[in-house]
Amino acid sequence: MIRRDFLQKTTAATLGLAASSLPAFARRTSAADTIRFGLIGVNSMGFADLKAHLKLPNVTCTALCDVDAGVLDKRAVEVQQLTGKRPATYGDFRKLLESKDLDAVIIGTPDHWHALPAIYAMEAGKDVYCEKPLANSIEECRLMLAAARRYNRVVQVGQWQRSHQHWQDALKFVQSGKLGNVRLVKVWGYFNWYKEVPNLPDAPAPAGVDYDLWLGPAPKRPFNPNRFHGTWRHFWDYGGGLMTDWGVHLIDMALAGMNATAPLSVSAAGGRFGYPASGMETPDTMQALYQFDKFSLVWAHGVGIGNGDYGREHGVAFVGNEGTLVVDRGGWEVQPEKKSSLEAVPRTAQVGNGLDNHAANFVECIRSRQRPACDIEIAANTAIVCQLGNIAYRSGRKLDWDAAKGRFSDKTANEYLAAQYHNGWKVPKG
């Protein structure tokens, strides 16, 4: 049973999309002040996030943290090459957060390690840039949002398409009404560069890896290479598969375009159909159907397949009475209905760098104390919607969702709402 009261309550603010100013904060920074960053989880996207921030003036990196000593040392050298100064290095994020030389942290850990470092960082007075999805459970999303508001922190989440101009232009067109009544939104991700995860035997953890700390609140189990760098996202203990890996990016744009928040119901189907002998737990093929008040949203993904809807491996299609707008990371276009007076919009290519823009927006908001392009409220809502799809798949049921209470009508499905922490780690307070 879910015993925590916050899972039974939510507010409209939790689902808001508009940015606004934060409450007054004691330390504002000027453009001349140097903002000191620390990075927790340095192997992949976290380091890309850090490099985007280091392109900006008066930004530096003073600390790095990772449970893999080999990767940590490599990144420390790279930061020194970029900034001229080697950052302090830590194996435990709690030690990094004790540093007095930090204003903000970037969290690039696996999903199951987002909530604790983020909340502890906010409690320590640090602003936070967190990789997507915001968290690995609906409970953690709500706790992280509560903490951000309690401690008046600026929190940017790595759904950087919010800062990419062509996505903004496409969504403005959707909201112009020119497509007519948009009754269906298609969202998809088919990736042939995602390959089968082979079954591998358990093995000793690599030298220099603090495997117990890597597991953290996840269930105790022997080390397996499949569950480590990169492929961890295909196991429920640490991630949510393609639904939360790519789904948060694309479904975020669908929700923004439709000014939508919570669905009324969700159902899902799929499985390991492409690679039935794969070592991954999450489905390699999946569809989720969300029913909103005035439209339906369909998510579909496939591992090892590159031919998606409209000839694109990924994208969002807003299907209206007058035409369909299709947008992906490469650009957007409008295809009119045959008897519509709507004029076609030829493909408009993307320009600029969304991640760089996202980093710049975060730094600007650290200085101004404004809420950023992908404020934690936005990210929490999108992550929750994606988690709903995974819960529908895992429960094998069509689920009615009560957004006001933050619960399903199905008691069994409600068991998936809460984070299950192990190894002495406790679910943090919001």
Does 364 lie in the same domain as 225?
no
Does 71 lie in the same domain as 139?
yes
* 3-class secondary structure per residue, the chain: CCCCHHHHCCCHHHHCCCCCECCCCCCCCCCCCCEEEEEECCCCHHHHHHHHHHCCCCEEEEEEECCEHHHHHHHHHHHHHHHCCCCEEECCHHHHHCCCCCCEEEECCCHHHCHHHHHHHHHCCCEEEECCCCCCCHHHHHHHHHHHHHCCCCEEECCHHHHCHHHHHHHHHHHCCCCCCEEEEEEEEEECCCCCCCCCCCCCCCCCECHHHHHCCCCCCCCCHHHCCCHHHHCCCCCCHHHHHCHHHHHHHHHHHHCCCCCCEEEEEEECCCCCCCCCCCCCEEEEEEECCCCEEEEEEEECCCCCHHHCCEEEEEEECCEEEEEECCEEEEEECCCCCCCCEEEEECCCCHHHHHHHHHHHHHHHCECCCCEHHHHHHHHHHHHHHHHHHHHCCCEEEECCCCEECCHHHHCCCCCCCCCCCCCCCC
Does 328 lie in the same domain as 288?
yes
> 56-97, pLDDT tens digit by residue?
999 999 999 999 999 999 999 999 999 999 999 999 999 999
- Residue 182 exposure: Cα atoms within 13 Å on the Cβ side: 25
Q: What's the CATH number where 320 sits?
A: 3.30.360.10
Does 231 lie in the same domain as 212?
yes
Q: Judge whether residue 23 has pLDDT over 50.
A: no
Band of the pLDDT at 196, cuts 50, 70, 90?
confident
The lowest-confidence range among 29-38, 172-181, 199-208, 226-235 is: 29-38
Does 226 lie in the same domain as 100?
no
**Residue-level pLDDT at 6:** 35
- In terms of Cβ atoms closer than 10 Å to its own Cβ (0-12, 13-18, 19+), residue 180 is middle
Q: What's the CATH number where 26 sits?
A: 3.40.50.720
Does 273 lie in the same domain as 255?
yes
**Is there a domain that residue 411 lies in?**
no
Does 185 lie in the same domain as 68?
no
**Residue-level pLDDT at 429:** 81
Residue 12 — φ and ψ, nearest 5°?
A: -60, -30
What strand order describes the sheet that includes 323-328? Answer: 345-349, 331-336, 323-328, 314-320, 182-191, 296-303, 285-291, 265-271, 399-402, 407-408
Q: Smallest Cα–Cα separation from 255: which of 135, 384, 399?
A: 384
Q: Is the pTM of this model over 0.85?
A: yes
Does 141 lie in the same domain as 118?
yes
| Token code pair at residue 224 | 């397996």
**Is there a domain that residue 429 lies in?**
no
**Is there a domain that residue 200 lies in?**
yes
Band of the pLDDT at 195, cuts 50, 70, 90?
confident
**Is there a domain that residue 263 lies in?**
yes
Does 182 lie in the same domain as 68?
no
> 358-415, pLDDT tens digit by residue?
999 999 999 999 999 999 999 999 999 999 999 999 999 999 999 999 999 999 999 9
Q: Give percent of the chain above pLDDT 90.
A: 90
| Counted domains in the chain | 2
**Residue-level pLDDT at 130:** 98
Q: Are strands 323-328 and 331-336 parallel, antiparallel or unpaired?
A: antiparallel
Does 348 lie in the same domain as 359?
no
Q: Judge whether residue 7 has pLDDT over 60.
A: no
**Is there a domain that residue 397 lies in?**
no
Does 344 lie in the same domain as 239?
yes
**Is there a domain that residue 326 lies in?**
yes
Rounded CA separation 252/328 (Å): 12
Q: Is the dihedral of CA 86, 90, 91, 93 positive or negative?
A: negative
Range of 192's domain?
167-352
Does 359 lie in the same domain as 347?
no
- In terms of Cβ atoms closer than 10 Å to its own Cβ (0-12, 13-18, 19+), residue 307 is exposed
**Is there a domain that residue 382 lies in?**
no
Contact status, residue 417 vs residue 137, Cβ threshold 8 Å: yes
Q: Judge whether residue 1 has pLDDT over 70.
A: no
**Residue-level pLDDT at 37:** 98
**Is there a domain that residue 427 lies in?**
no
